[in-house]
Amino acid sequence: MSINTSMLWADIVQIREKAPLIHNITNFVVMNNTANALLALGGSPIMAHAVEEVADMVKICNALVVNIGTLSSHWITAMEKAIDAAAQANIPIVLDPVGAGATSYRTNTVHSLMSIAAPSIIRGNASEIKACVTEEAKTKGVDSLDSSESAIEAARQLHATYGCTVVISGETDFIVSGGEPIQIKNGHVMMTKVTGLGCTATALCGAFAAVNSQLEMAAAHAMAVMGIAGEMATEQANGPGTLQLHFLDALYNLSAEAIEKRLSAA
């Protein structure tokens, strides 16, 4: 499959019109950025993690995003409840296995969360995606030790087991589902110097999944938007500080023209 401007733009229009409610159980580092990115794109973010309310919150939402970046036992319980509720209500579940492979606690948590219900989309760097398949994979903190391409086989296994779409983030992003992976070549290396843009990508996968039930397309659209907005932002930025603000502005100001001009997918 491949992606094109008009299909991508149609999703953005829907997000802006419907303002889908995205329930995020995510990490402390990126909550603010994640919420702002979802708002700038046109979505409506909600952060909630109390075990007493996550199931109720999921039911009024259009997608659930679970991110284990700063996990602890109480939060894992909330993630389990939310995933279970989302599966029952047929709401897309997007999983970000931040730092899987860095500690066995993280790796085990990811495996345990996937056993509650199959995720709809998993997004991570190559090391994290590999750690979703085997506990032997290693990660340097939250940074990948490997090229995106090296994780395609692991992504195929995840797809075979869970039926999910898998996004491997990197210089080239690979969106792996049944067929040939979609490749997105947008983005800029300076984006790796801003914390949490991977987490933002995961949240945007949730926003697109909320309006597009073809999850491979939803994920590809999210990654294309990340890369394109990142390129636009980098052109305005003097460094990673100003980049992150221009990135939000770029999401807010996205146009079909800008997408048409920059989209680099295969």
Among 4, 6, 161, 242, binds a second copy (CB under 8 A): 242
- Chain length of the chain: 266
| Rounded distance between C-alpha atoms, residue 187 and residue 170, angstroms | 9
Provide the Cα torsion 31, 34, 35, 36; round to 10°: 120
By CB under 8 A, residue 145 contacts a second copy? no
Which residues ranging from 169 to 188 are in contact with a second copy (CB under 8 A)?
Answer: none
By CB under 8 A, residue 52 contacts a second copy? yes
Among 1, 2, 4, 56, binds a second copy (CB under 8 A): 56
By CB under 8 A, residue 150 contacts a second copy? no
Q: Which residues does 216 contact at the CB level (< 8 Å), separation at least 6?
A: 1, 165, 175, 177, 178, 182
By CB under 8 A, residue 127 contacts a second copy? no
Q: Which is nearer to a second copy, 222 or 254 (CB)?
A: 254
CA 213 to chain centre: 15
Among 11, 33, 144, 206, binds a second copy (CB under 8 A): 33
- The answer to whether 65 and 46 have CB atoms below 8 angstroms apart is no
Residue 225 backbone dihedrals phi, psi, to 5 degrees? -65, -40
String of DSSP letters for 230-253: HHHHHHH-SSHHHHHHHHHHHHHH
DSSP, collapsed to helix, strand or coil, labels residue 192 as helix
Among 11, 80, 91, 106, binds a second copy (CB under 8 A): 106
- Segment interacting with a second copy, rule: CB under 8 A, options 82-90, 169-177, 190-198, 210-218: 190-198
By CB under 8 A, residue 32 contacts a second copy? yes
Among 2, 4, 17, 53, binds a second copy (CB under 8 A): 53
DSSP state of 181: P
Conformation bin of residue 57: beta by default, left when phi > 0, alpha when psi is -120 to 50: alpha
By CB under 8 A, residue 136 contacts a second copy? no
One-letter amino acid for residue 181 of the chain: P
Q: To the nearest whole angstrom, how small is the minimum distance from the Cβ of residue 205 to a second copy?
A: 18
Q: Which is nearer to a second copy, 39 or 152 (CB)?
A: 39
By CB under 8 A, residue 44 contacts a second copy? yes
Q: Using CB under 8 A as the criterion, which residues of the chain lie in contact with a second copy when the complex forms?
A: 19, 21, 23, 27-33, 35-36, 39-40, 44-53, 56-57, 60-61, 69-74, 99, 102-106, 140-143, 192-196, 237-242, 244-253
